[in-house]
């Protein structure tokens, strides 16, 4: 059943140019309404959303306005268009987006091999001030702390430390993590209903510590790439802090700028 229509008419795009109240463009209002439905779980990851015609009738706007809103949501990877099939809610379970946030790729003369995920630790702890601040929690709130290795072709390449808000990931254990064979964000999405929408990253060069070097099979002091990522869900709410060490002798970090 379609959701109730907004209680007041949506503002026209021209309203922003007439000297009246500064309303947002009409398609942006439709984008916000669609996003609200995605956030509430009305349409689940991987499911089709209603057609542009049906959404236009639901929101009492033109089909072109809906199309423009959907175009932006598709550009932001919240929705995906499939030729001849419709528009679907993006999911990390899809092969093409499983590694959207992993920018490490093998050098041209290197072979990567299959990816193996090896969890070394997972525990429930109290958040210190720094972790609490990054996840917008209170110091002492429960968080899940996990450590894992990513191996490419049997070779350790990434050592990750992760912190997750305990309230969102109740029941997460090392056993459950170890049993999951697919992408981690797909697991968070399917098992806990937490969608990773976008991420902020900080990169710097560091030297391998005496404790971390053996895990990455490098010498103490060897150069590594440090990648700190804060991952956010709807409404820019942080749901993960990740600090990774990348061994880049046969890989490089690749990003596309536009």
| pLDDT score for 251 | 85
| pLDDT score for 103 | 66
- Cβ atoms 127, 223 nearer than 8 A: no
Domains 13-89 and 95-253 share a fold: no
**Taking the model in full, what pTM does it have?**
0.77
CA pair distance 132, 167, nearest whole angstrom = 13
* CATH fold of 13-89: Arc Repressor Mutant, subunit A (1.10.10)
- Cβ atoms 199, 234 nearer than 8 A: no
Distance in Å from the first CA to the final CA of the chain: 40
Instruction: Delimit the domains of the chain by residue range.
Output: 13-89, 95-253
| The CATH number of domain 95-253 is 3.40.640.10 | no
| pLDDT score for 13 | 45
- Cβ atoms 137, 125 nearer than 8 A: no
Give, for all 258 residues of the chain, the pLDDT tens digit: 444 444 334 554 444 344 445 578 899 999 999 999 998 889 988 899 999 999 999 999 999 999 999 999 988 888 989 888 899 998 876 555 444 566 677 887 666 667 888 999 999 999 999 999 999 999 999 999 999 999 988 899 999 999 999 999 999 988 888 888 778 888 998 899 999 888 999 999 999 999 999 999 999 999 999 999 999 999 899 999 999 999 999 888 887 766
- Cβ atoms 144, 172 nearer than 8 A: yes
Distances (CA, A) of 19 to 12, 22, 23: 13, 8, 11
| Cα-Cα-Cα-Cα dihedral sign, residues 132, 242, 204, 200 | negative
Residue 254 forms beta bridges with which residues?
Answer: none
């Amino acid at each position: 059943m379609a959701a109730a229509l907004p209680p007041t008419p949506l503002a026209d795009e021209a309203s922003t140019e007439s000297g009246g109240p500064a309303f947002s463009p009409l398609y942006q209002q439709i984008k916000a309404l669609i996003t609200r439905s995605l956030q509430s779980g009305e349409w689940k990851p991987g499911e089709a959303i209603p057609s542009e015609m049906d959404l236009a009738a639901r929101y009492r706007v033109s089909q072109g306005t809906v199309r423009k809103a959907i175009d932006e949501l598709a550009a932001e990877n919240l929705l995906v268009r499939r030729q001849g099939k419709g528009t679907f809610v993006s999911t990390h379970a899809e092969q093409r987006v499983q590694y959207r946030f992993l920018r490490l790729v093998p050098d041209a003369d290197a072979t990567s091999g299959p990816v193996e995920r090896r969890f070394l630790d997972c525990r429930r702890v109290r958040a210190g001030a720094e972790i609490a601040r990054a996840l917008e929690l209170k110091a002492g709130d429960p968080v899940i702390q996990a450590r894992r290795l990513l191996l490419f072709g049997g070779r350790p390449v990434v050592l990750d430390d992760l912190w997750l808000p305990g309230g969102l990931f109740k029941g997460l254990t090392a056993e459950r993590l170890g049993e999951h064979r697919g992408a981690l964000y797909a697991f968070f999405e399917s098992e806990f209903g937490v969608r990773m929408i976008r991420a902020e990253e900080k990169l710097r060069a560091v030297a391998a510590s005496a404790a971390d070097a053996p895990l990455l099979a490098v010498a103490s002091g060897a150069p590594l790439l440090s990648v700190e990522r804060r991952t956010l869900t709807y409404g820019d709410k942080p749901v993960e802090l990740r600090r990774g060490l990348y061994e880049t002798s046969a890989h490089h970090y690749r990003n596309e700028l536009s």
